[in-house]
A = this chain, B = another copy of it.
């Protein structure tokens, strides 16, 4: 019973931590956030330049994502004094700091993606046999 209490305490602590983590992750984790940051990482880019790089993203999705990124302080938005008007988006230090933990996730995905695929196929074949 003493063991149970200890384990409960640990798990409870982790779950309590999650309560603070979740709202943050909800803000940054959408379909395009990471891809946009990847594009902006080497250098700033303009709206249509980003769109050309991200094959498949729609006008609206990019506009929404950039608005959220700007609001969260991960990118900056600068209107250029050109004609016709131009807008340049650049990654902030805060946005840049996100790349390291995200790369840890990427590494995991690259390392274990095959294992997940294998588990999928095994699971499916077992179900098919039944």
Which residue numbers of A lie inside 8 Å of B, CB to CB?
Answer: 7-8, 10-11, 14-15, 17-18, 20-21, 23-25, 27-29, 34-35, 38-39, 41-43, 53-54, 70-74, 94, 97-98, 100-102, 104-110, 112-113, 115-116, 118-120, 122-124
Name which residue of chain B comes closest to A43, CB basis.
B7
Chain B residues with Cβ below 8 Å from A119 are 71-74, 94
Instruction: Decide if B39 touches A109 in the complex (CB within 8 Å).
Output: no
Q: Which residues of B contact A116 (CB under 8 A)?
A: 24, 27-28, 72-74, 94
Number of copies: 2
Whether B18 pairs with A34 at a CB distance below 8 angstroms is yes
**Which residues does chain B contribute within 8 Å of A102, judged by CB atoms?**
105
Provided the pairs A94-B112, A119-B71, A119-B72 are in contact, do residues A104 and B105 lie with their beta carbons within 8 angstroms?
A: yes
Bound-state Cα–Cα, A112 to B38, Å:
19
Residues of B within 8 A of A23 (CB): 113
Report the Cα distance A102→B17, complex, angstroms: 13
B residues less than 8 Å from A10 (CB atoms): 42
Q: Are A18 and B42 in contact (CB under 8 A)?
A: no
- Rounded to whole Å, the gap between the CB of A63 and the closest CB of chain B is 16
Evaluate contact between B105 and A25: CB separation under 8 angstroms. Answer: yes
Judge whether A123 and B71 touch: CB under 8 Å. yes
